[in-house]
Structure 1
Amino acid sequence: MSQPYRLTDAGTAPDPILVEIIEGYLASVEMEVETAIGRTSRSPMIRDAHDYRAGIHDRNLRKLTGRSYSALVHPVVRDYPIETMKPGDVFFHNDVYLSEGGIGHLPDLCVTAPVFHDSGNGPEVVGFVQAFGHHDDIGGAVPGSMPSHATSVFEEGLMVPPIKLWDQGVPCEQALKIMTRNSRMPDSLAADLDAECSACLMGARRMAELFERYGRDTVEACFDAVLDKTTETFRREILSKIPEGTYTWEDYAEHDGVEDPKLHTQRITLTKTSADDPDGERIVLDFHGTAPQAKGPINHCGDYADGNFLKKWLAPILRNLADTPERMAELDVNEGVVPLIEMRFPPKGTLLTPEFPAPTNARTFVILRLLGVLAGVVAKAVDGRMPADQETIRYTGVYGDDFDGEPYLMREVLGGGSGGRYYADGEDTIHVVPDSRNLPSEFSESRFPFVVERLGLAVDSGGPGRHRGGLGYEKQIRMLKDAHFMSIADRSILACWGVKGGKAGQPFSVTVDPGGPREREVDALADAEPVRAGEVIRIRTTGGGGWGDPLARPYDEVRRDVLWGKVSVDGARRDYGVVVAGGADEPRVDVAASDALREELRRSRPAEPFFDRGPGYATLAAGATAAEVDWL
Structure 2
Amino acid sequence: MSGLDPSTGSGRRTLDHPGVDPVLVEIVEGYLASVEMEVETAIGRTSRSPMIRDAHDYRAGIHDRRLRKLTGRSYSALVHPVVRDYPLETMRPGDVFFHNDVYLSEGGIGHLPDLCVTAPVFHDEGDGQGPQVVAFVQAFGHHDDIGGAVPGSMPSQATSVFEEGLMVPPIRLWDQGVPNEAALKIMTRNSRMPESLAADLDAECSACLMGARRMAELFARYGRTTVEACFDAVLDKTTATFRREILAKIPVGTYVWEDYAEHDGVDEPRLHTQRITLTRTPADDPDGERLVFDFHGTSPQAKGPINHCGDYADGNFLKKWLAPILRNLADTPERMAELDVNEGVVPLIEMRFPPKGTLLTPEFPAPTNARTFVILRLLGVLAGVLAKAVDGRMPADQETIRYTGVYGTDLEGAPYLMREVLGGGSGGRYYADGEDTIHVVPDSRNLPSEFSEARFPFVVERLGLAVDSGGAGRYRGGLGYEKHIRMLKDAHFMSIADRSILACWGVKGGKAGRPFQVTIDPGGPREREVDALADAEPVAAGEVIRIRTTGGGGWGDPLERPYDEVLRDVLWGKVSRDGARDDYGVVVTGSADAPVADEPASDALREELRGARTGDEPFFDRGPGYATLAAGATSAEVDFLR
Shift of 1:454: 0.1
Shift of 1:606: 2.3
Shift of 1:391: 1.9
Contact kept in structure 1, 2:400 and 2:438, CA below 8 Å? no
Query: What is the rounded CA distance, in whole Å, between the counterparts of 1:9 and 1:134 in structure 2?
Result: 25
Secondary structure at the residue paired with 2:493?
strand
Secondary structure at the residue paired with 2:610?
helix
Number of residue pairs the alignment of both structures matches: 624
Query: What is the rounded CA distance, in whole Å, between the counterparts of 1:61 and 1:270 in structure 2?
Result: 27
Shift of 1:492: 0.1
Shift of 1:541: 0.1
Secondary structure at the residue paired with 2:640?
coil
Partner of 2:384: 376
Query: What is the rounded CA distance, in whole Å, between the counterparts of 1:98 and 1:137 in structure 2?
Result: 20
Shift of 1:404: 1.1
Under a length normalisation based on structure 2, what TM-score does the superposition of the two structures give?
0.96
Alignment of 1:189-338 (within 5 A): 189-338=197-346
Secondary structure at the residue paired with 1:63?
coil
Contact kept in structure 2, 1:95 and 1:106, CA below 8 Å? yes
For residues 234-270 of structure 1, give each alpha carbon's deviation from its aligned partner in whole angstroms, at most 9, with x where no partner exists: 0000000000000000000000000000000000000
Shift of 1:9: 16
Contact kept in structure 2, 1:569 and 1:583, CA below 8 Å? no
Contact kept in structure 2, 1:392 and 1:490, CA below 8 Å? no
Shift of 1:18: 0.3
Contact kept in structure 2, 1:393 and 1:414, CA below 8 Å? yes
From 43, 55, 59, the equivalent of 2:61 is: 55
Runs of 4+ in 1 over 6 A off after TM superposition: 8-11
Query: What is the rounded CA distance, in whole Å, between the counterparts of 1:515 and 1:559 in structure 2?
Result: 29
Shift of 1:583: 4.0
Shift of 1:627: 3.0
Query: What is the rounded CA distance, in whole Å, between the counterparts of 1:563 and 1:40 in structure 2?
Result: 42
Contact kept in structure 1, 2:96 and 2:118, CA below 8 Å? yes
For residues 436-473 of structure 1, give each alpha carbon's deviation from its aligned partner in whole angstroms, at most 9, with x where no partner exists: 00000000000000000000000000000000000000
Shift of 1:399: 0.1
Secondary structure at the residue paired with 2:495?
strand
Contact kept in structure 2, 1:559 and 1:580, CA below 8 Å? yes
For residues 115-137 of structure 1, give each alpha carbon's deviation from its aligned partner in whole angstroms, at most 9, with x where no partner exists: 00000140000000000100000
For residues 100-146 of structure 1, give each alpha carbon's deviation from its aligned partner in whole angstroms, at most 9, with x where no partner exists: 00000000000000000000140000000000100000000000000
Secondary structure at the residue paired with 1:451?
strand
Contact kept in structure 1, 2:10 and 2:346, CA below 8 Å? no
Contact kept in structure 2, 1:401 and 1:407, CA below 8 Å? yes
For residues 542-572 of structure 1, give each alpha carbon's deviation from its aligned partner in whole angstroms, at most 9, with x where no partner exists: 0000000000000000000000000000000
For residues 333-352 of structure 1, give each alpha carbon's deviation from its aligned partner in whole angstroms, at most 9, with x where no partner exists: 00000000000000000000
Contact kept in structure 2, 1:417 and 1:471, CA below 8 Å? yes
Shift of 1:586: 1.9
Contact kept in structure 1, 2:482 and 2:546, CA below 8 Å? yes
Query: What is the rounded CA distance, in whole Å, between the counterparts of 2:157 and 2:591 in structure 1?
Result: 46
For residues 288-321 of structure 1, give each alpha carbon's deviation from its aligned partner in whole angstroms, at most 9, with x where no partner exists: 0000000000000000000000000000000000
Shift of 1:278: 1.0
Secondary structure at the residue paired with 2:62?
strand
Secondary structure at the residue paired with 1:581?
strand
Under a length normalisation based on structure 1, what TM-score does the superposition of the two structures give?
0.98
Query: What is the rounded CA distance, in whole Å, between the counterparts of 2:407 and 2:308 in structure 1?
Result: 27
For residues 358-391 of structure 1, give each alpha carbon's deviation from its aligned partner in whole angstroms, at most 9, with x where no partner exists: 0000000000000000000000000000000012
Structure 2 CA distance for partners of 1:113 and 1:630, relative to 1, 3 Å: farther
Contact kept in structure 2, 1:293 and 1:354, CA below 8 Å? yes
Contact kept in structure 2, 1:231 and 1:337, CA below 8 Å? yes
Secondary structure at the residue paired with 1:631?
helix
Contact kept in structure 2, 1:301 and 1:354, CA below 8 Å? yes
Query: What is the rounded CA distance, in whole Å, between the counterparts of 1:555 and 1:434 in structure 2?
Result: 34
Shift of 1:625: 1.1
Query: What is the rounded CA distance, in whole Å, between the counterparts of 1:256 and 1:558 in structure 2?
Result: 38
Shift of 1:392: 3.3
Contact kept in structure 2, 1:312 and 1:335, CA below 8 Å? yes
Secondary structure at the residue paired with 2:446?
coil
Query: What is the rounded CA distance, in whole Å, between the counterparts of 2:387 and 2:116 in structure 1?
Result: 35
Secondary structure at the residue paired with 1:630?
helix
Shift of 1:157: 0.1
Shift of 1:582: 1.5
Partner of 1:3: none
Query: What is the rounded CA distance, in whole Å, between the counterparts of 1:435 and 1:317 in structure 2?
Result: 18
For residues 51-85 of structure 1, give each alpha carbon's deviation from its aligned partner in whole angstroms, at most 9, with x where no partner exists: 00100000000000000000000000000000000
Provide the identity percentage.
90
Secondary structure at the residue paired with 1:383?
coil
Contact kept in structure 2, 1:450 and 1:478, CA below 8 Å? yes
Give unmatched runs, 5+ long, in structure 1.
1-7
Contact kept in structure 1, 2:146 and 2:192, CA below 8 Å? yes
Contact kept in structure 2, 1:254 and 1:493, CA below 8 Å? yes
Partner of 2:135: 127
1:41 aligns with 2:34: no
Alignment of 1:418-433 (within 5 A): 418-433=426-441
Contact kept in structure 1, 2:188 and 2:195, CA below 8 Å? yes
Contact kept in structure 2, 1:180 and 1:189, CA below 8 Å? yes
Query: What is the rounded CA distance, in whole Å, between the counterparts of 1:237 and 1:204 in structure 2?
Result: 34
Contact kept in structure 2, 1:390 and 1:545, CA below 8 Å? yes
Query: What is the rounded CA distance, in whole Å, between the counterparts of 2:474 and 2:322 in structure 1?
Result: 27
Secondary structure at the residue paired with 1:32?
helix
Secondary structure at the residue paired with 1:545?
coil
Contact kept in structure 2, 1:392 and 1:491, CA below 8 Å? no
1:16 aligns with 2:22: yes
Shift of 1:628: 2.4
Contact kept in structure 2, 1:395 and 1:489, CA below 8 Å? yes
Query: What is the rounded CA distance, in whole Å, between the counterparts of 2:169 and 2:509 in structure 1?
Result: 48
Query: What is the rounded CA distance, in whole Å, between the counterparts of 1:149 and 1:224 in structure 2?
Result: 46
Structure 2 CA distance for partners of 1:86 and 1:425, relative to 1, 3 Å: same
Structure 2 CA distance for partners of 1:28 and 1:449, relative to 1, 3 Å: same
Query: What is the rounded CA distance, in whole Å, between the counterparts of 1:463 and 1:61 in structure 2?
Result: 41
Contact kept in structure 2, 1:397 and 1:411, CA below 8 Å? yes
Shift of 1:584: 3.1
Partner of 1:567: 575
Shift of 1:528: 0.1
Shift of 1:630: 4.2
1:627 aligns with 2:636: yes
Contact kept in structure 2, 1:495 and 1:505, CA below 8 Å? yes
For residues 575-627 of structure 1, give each alpha carbon's deviation from its aligned partner in whole angstroms, at most 9, with x where no partner exists: 00000002433210001100010011111112300000000000000001123
From 66, 89, 98, the equivalent of 1:83 is: 89
Contact kept in structure 2, 1:369 and 1:392, CA below 8 Å? no
From 94, 97, 122, the equivalent of 1:116 is: 122
Contact kept in structure 2, 1:92 and 1:111, CA below 8 Å? yes
Alignment of 1:141-540 (within 5 A): 141-540=149-548
Query: What is the rounded CA distance, in whole Å, between the counterparts of 1:435 and 1:9 in structure 2?
Result: 28
Contact kept in structure 2, 1:291 and 1:631, CA below 8 Å? no
Structure 2 CA distance for partners of 1:9 and 1:44, relative to 1, 3 Å: closer
Query: What is the rounded CA distance, in whole Å, between the counterparts of 1:236 and 1:132 in structure 2?
Result: 32
Query: What is the rounded CA distance, in whole Å, between the counterparts of 1:464 and 1:299 in structure 2?
Result: 32
From 555, 563, 588, the equivalent of 2:596 is: 588
Query: What is the rounded CA distance, in whole Å, between the counterparts of 1:302 and 1:626 in structure 2?
Result: 29
Shift of 1:10: 16
Query: What is the rounded CA distance, in whole Å, between the counterparts of 1:624 and 1:148 in structure 2?
Result: 23
Query: What is the rounded CA distance, in whole Å, between the counterparts of 2:381 and 2:393 in structure 1?
Result: 15
Shift of 1:393: 1.0
Query: What is the rounded CA distance, in whole Å, between the counterparts of 1:577 and 1:360 in structure 2?
Result: 44
For residues 514-557 of structure 1, give each alpha carbon's deviation from its aligned partner in whole angstroms, at most 9, with x where no partner exists: 00000000000000000000000000000000000000000000
Contact kept in structure 1, 2:495 and 2:535, CA below 8 Å? yes
Query: What is the rounded CA distance, in whole Å, between the counterparts of 2:468 and 2:440 in structure 1?
Result: 21
Structure 2 CA distance for partners of 1:513 and 1:272, relative to 1, 3 Å: same
Contact kept in structure 2, 1:490 and 1:524, CA below 8 Å? yes
Query: What is the rounded CA distance, in whole Å, between the counterparts of 2:509 and 2:637 in structure 1?
Result: 28
